[in-house]
């Protein structure tokens, strides 16, 4: 069962990548994303790393460059936008 805090972290990750325009072939460095979100989210990067791994397993994120870069999955764009908009 997913807690509301974990779901919130996932939505923050998706929203950050969406605002940066990281869809498909345009990706963001994973380490800087985790560093930025680790400051915003309590318990530093562990929760962020776990959330990113879960999002990759669920198919919302795509890993690039041997797992060092990440982008949003463009085939799930409607679902991602819907999740982010529901939060607001």
For residue 5, pLDDT over 70 is answered with yes
Q: Rg of the chain's alpha carbons, rounded to an integer?
A: 12
In the chain, pLDDT over 90 holds for what percent of residues?
47
Q: How far apart (Å, rounded) are the C-alpha atoms in residues 31 and 88?
A: 27
Round the average pLDDT of the chain to a whole number and report it: 86
Looking at the DSSP bridge assignments, the partners of residue 23 are: 72
Domain that holds residue 25: 4-87
Q: No. of H helices and E strands in the chain? A: 4, 3
CATH number of the domain residue 63 falls in: 1.10.10.10
For residue 59, pLDDT over 90 is answered with yes
For residue 1, pLDDT over 50 is answered with no
Work out how many domains the chain is built from and give that number: 1
For residue 44, pLDDT over 80 is answered with no
List of residues 6+ apart from 88 with CB closer than 8 A: none
* pTM of this structure: 0.87
């Amino acid at each position: 069962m997913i807690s509301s805090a974990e779901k919130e972290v996932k939505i923050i990750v998706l929203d950050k990548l969406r605002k940066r325009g990281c869809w498909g072939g345009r990706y963001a460095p994973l380490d800087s994303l985790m560093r930025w979100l680790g400051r915003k989210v309590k318990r530093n990067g562990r929760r962020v790393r776990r959330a990113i791994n879960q999002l990759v397993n669920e198919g919302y994120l795509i890993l690039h460059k041997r797992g060092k870069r990440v982008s949003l999955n463009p085939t799930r764009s409607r679902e991602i936008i819907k999740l982010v908009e529901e939060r607001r």
